Structure 1
Amino acid sequence: MSTFGRMFRVTTYGESHCKSVGVIVDGCPPGIALSEQDVQPQLDRRRPGQSNLTTPRNEKDRVEIQAGVELGYTLGSPIAMRVPNEDQRPHDYGDAMTQYPRPSHADWTYLQKYGVKSSSGGGRSSARETIGRVAASAIAEKYLKQAHGIEVVAFVASVGNVHAEPPAEYDAGHKDAFLASWHAYWERLHTITREQVDADLVRCPFPDVSAAMKRRIEAARDDHDSIGGTIVCVIRGVPAGLGEPAFDKLQATLAHAMLSIPATKGFEYGSGFAGGSIPGHVHNDAFVLKDDAMRTHTNFSGGIQGGISNGEPIYFKVVFKPAATIGQAQATANYAGVAGTLAAKGRHDPCVLPRAVPIVEAMATLTIIDALLVQYSRQQALQHTLPGAAIPAPLRPFKPADVAAEASQAAASQTDPTRD
């Protein structure tokens, strides 16, 4: 389907070489100040032609708000946004490109599903479709920032075999060093900013690693090839309580969102696959009281426990494959099954990662605002259906101060001989 979300519903439209792409956002709260200037910066971050590391397709990606906003404020009705495709070159897809299903692209599968496919570009499977997602997320991001101080920051963590410094693997003989490495990683996720990320062409905020990544992308580009890698994303300021057991756990909806992005091949959150090698007594996130709030001393859970946010930063990693369309001649077969050679033409990214960063942020933002609005609806329903309901003591919400008072009373009852 082309719609994402339950309460904050985002429906995208358009193909890579049609007249325009865009989105309809339904469920946006009314009264939010909104203009094209709020949306455009995010589109500028994902648009092509940003550097010699990306496709040279020259699209300005200028957004136009068509409906749902009046006098600079959202009305609560559906918001429609449109971005024209100005630099279309469908002629780049000549006879050879229409006769051959491109290796690892969606030409063959779309044809099998619908009996027809777009004759140029990737159609709906093109990353051009993500413009609507990014535009919608700019609205959601403004609301989340203003209402809750929620921040979403993603960065390129690896390109090919070039990695930013990862946390150490578990070694029972070096437990302290292992924990120190992870704490340093969590601290990095606490402090990294979008400005630091965007200051780098690769969108890796670690200069020594970024330089090596840049060389790897340039090597792929010069060889008419492509290369993949990973993006890490952190969501800070998320309140506890978001996520829906059992099938719509927060990590499940985040995975759904991330794996809907073109070229993604894998998702992990928190300690991820590394968690399988860490013993429980190390991996368990013990609770501590900080500033009158329950927090965890470690964050191997990635801010989610039981499928519900626990108030800690949420972090995850997404794997992107190398771009499917490359300039090298590839031995393959045409739609009739006859062997042949295909050399793709057109303008394509040697590495999708730098431009995928704002797309990952967009889908994370859309996931969180939807989960937040679902939680709002639950709380609102409880206020109307259970006014003054007597909740049994074991289920009753309590504050850390209540626990301290109960503990003090229990201690007094054990030491005061005058008490029963």
Structure 2
Amino acid sequence: MGNSFGTLFKITTFGESHGKALGVIIDGCPAGLDIDETFIQNELIRRKPGQSKITTQRKENDEFEILSGVFEGKSTGTPISLLIHNTDAKSKDYSHIAEKYRPSHADYTYDTKYGIRDYRGGGRSSARETAARVAAGAVAKLFLKKIGVDVTAYVSQVGTIQAPEYHEMDLSKTEDNIVRCPDPKVAEEMIALIDQTRKNQDTIGGVVTGVIKNTPAGLGEPVFDKLHAELGKAMLSINAVKGFEYGSGFKGVEMYGSEHNDLFYNDEGKVKTKTNHSGGIQGGISNGEDIYFNVAFKPVATIMKDQPSIDKTGDDATVSGKGRHDPCVVPRAVPIVEAMAALVIADFFLINKTSKLSD
């Protein structure tokens, strides 16, 4: 029913925004992996609400507990179950929309599909669900570190304010500011825009750029399960995402083939390309170059202004903005993008092990 993701490294998430807890079951994590609980917790802290003036002020520590699959600090090869309790849900903030459909939310579509909806914070449709993904993605990151793969992301755009290309910045500075943009000057402009948007009782969208370094060549399937297709599916499954592009993306349509082609050369026995318009993926399979992609997030749908809408009976209604919401989702979306990318690469790495006999 769409609650699971992956083939061999597979996750299933559960829980709602205002339920007792959120959680994830990871099936297929190889045995013997060191499970660094401090690392997992730090990843959750990067995503948690209430971390700065430009994020929702809901206060959740997002502390997790391991229920299964880990013994003496190592994965056992059996399903790993992680649980995160909700501690600061204020369901009364949503009683006013119990019978109303909020514009651009999943209220109407959930009601149409299921005939019932949890209106408290959007229930399962809430971005709170992504806490479980980040926990699972942290385990995937631990696995990828063992093979030298580095997965990172950063905020590259807020509104019309754009950062330079990823190779023009020091990505190690991403966590140096609250908007998670590695360019300090651009970050200041982004923060000011988000803060002013919040004061205007409005919201603004943005872009998160993901970069995956040291991916082995040969990951991905050639037809329906192309590597970039799975990355696209992973990113488009994140709340508020409206667009995905990798490599040259839509800018590639402005180029001639003679400009766009990535020419091969031999670098001391290793196949490299002089440019990387392909974004590290050719024919749906990784070629060993950096994989980079952009994920577009819409403005958060809940704004602190009255909006016209309808109720469940079809009558006109007014929806008032209440509760605690992000004026811009992208600063907290960075670890979510990283988590989903890590899950895809970990899954394809294991799948690739089944594709040919060992050398």
Alignment of 1:276-315 (within 5 A): 276-315=253-292
Structure scoring higher RCO (CA < 8 A, sep ≥ 6) equals 2
Alignment of 1:254-273 (within 5 A): 254-273=231-250
In the aligned structure 2, how far is the partner of 1:99 from the partner of 1:299? 51
**Which residue of the partner structure matches residue 136 of structure 1?**
136
**Which residue of the partner structure matches residue 24 of structure 1?**
25
- Give how far 1:325 is off: 1.0
SS of residue paired to 1:377: coil
**Which residue of the partner structure matches residue 110 of structure 1?**
110
Q: Answer whether contact 1:97 1:344 (CA < 8 A) is retained.
A: no
- Give how far 1:188 is off: 3.0
In the aligned structure 2, how far is the partner of 1:218 from the partner of 1:140? 34
CA-to-aligned-CA distance 1:274-326 (integer Å, 9 cap, x gap):
00010000100000111320000000000000000000000000000000111
**2:189 counterpart of 1:188:** no
**Percent identical residues:** 51
- Give how far 1:162 is off: 1.1
**Which residue of the partner structure matches residue 304 of structure 2?**
327
Aligned residues: 358
Paired AA for residue 116 in structure 1: I
Q: Answer whether contact 1:36 1:64 (CA < 8 A) is retained.
A: no
**Which residue of the partner structure matches residue 80 of structure 1?**
81
Paired AA for residue 234 in structure 1: V
In the aligned structure 1, how far is the partner of 2:316 from the partner of 2:241? 29
Q: Answer whether contact 1:225 1:327 (CA < 8 A) is retained.
A: yes
- Give how far 1:335 is off: 1.6
**Which residue of the partner structure matches residue 64 of structure 1?**
65
- Give how far 1:35 is off: 4.3
In the aligned structure 2, how far is the partner of 1:275 from the partner of 1:51? 37
Q: Answer whether contact 2:107 2:119 (CA < 8 A) is retained.
A: no
Paired AA for residue 171 in structure 2: I
CA-to-aligned-CA distance 1:28-59 (integer Å, 9 cap, x gap):
00011114223101000000011010000000
- Give how far 1:187 is off: 3.1
SS of residue paired to 2:194: helix
Q: CA RMSD in A?
A: 1.2
Q: Answer whether contact 1:101 1:334 (CA < 8 A) is retained.
A: yes
In the aligned structure 2, how far is the partner of 1:187 from the partner of 1:319? 20
Alignment of 1:404-419 (within 5 A): none
CA-to-aligned-CA distance 1:44-83 (integer Å, 9 cap, x gap):
0000011010000000000100100011111000000000
- Give how far 1:228 is off: 0.3
**Which residue of the partner structure matches residue 274 of structure 1?**
251
**Which residue of the partner structure matches residue 174 of structure 1?**
none
Q: Structure 1's 120 and 186: CA in aligned 2 closer, same or farther, altered over 3 A? A: closer
**Which residue of the partner structure matches residue 355 of structure 2?**
378
In the aligned structure 2, how far is the partner of 1:128 from the partner of 1:108? 19
- Residue segments in structure 1 that go unaligned for 5+ positions in a row: 166-184, 388-420
**2:342 counterpart of 1:342:** no
- Give how far 1:262 is off: 0.2
| Structure number having the greater helix percentage | 1
Q: Structure 1's 320 and 116: CA in aligned 2 closer, same or farther, altered over 3 A? A: same
Of residues 53-62 and 340-349 in structure 1, the stretch that sits farther from structure 2 once superposed is: 340-349
Poorly superposed stretches of 4+, deviation over 6 Å = none
Paired AA for residue 17 in structure 1: H
**Which residue of the partner structure matches residue 397 of structure 1?**
none
- Give how far 1:186 is off: 6.0
**Which residue of the partner structure matches residue 159 of structure 2?**
160
- Residue segments in structure 2 that go unaligned for 5+ positions in a row: none
In the aligned structure 1, how far is the partner of 2:92 from the partner of 2:125? 19
Paired AA for residue 8 in structure 1: F
In the aligned structure 1, how far is the partner of 2:161 from the partner of 2:99? 37
Normalising to structure 2: TM-score of the pair? 0.98
Residue in structure 1 matching 2:179, options 180, 202, 207: 202
CA-to-aligned-CA distance 1:145-185 (integer Å, 9 cap, x gap):
12x211111111111111113xxxxxxxxxxxxxxxxxxx4
Paired AA for residue 187 in structure 1: H
Structure label with greater radius of gyration: 1
Paired AA for residue 121 in structure 2: G
In the aligned structure 1, how far is the partner of 2:50 from the partner of 2:294? 26
**2:236 counterpart of 1:237:** no
SS of residue paired to 1:93: helix
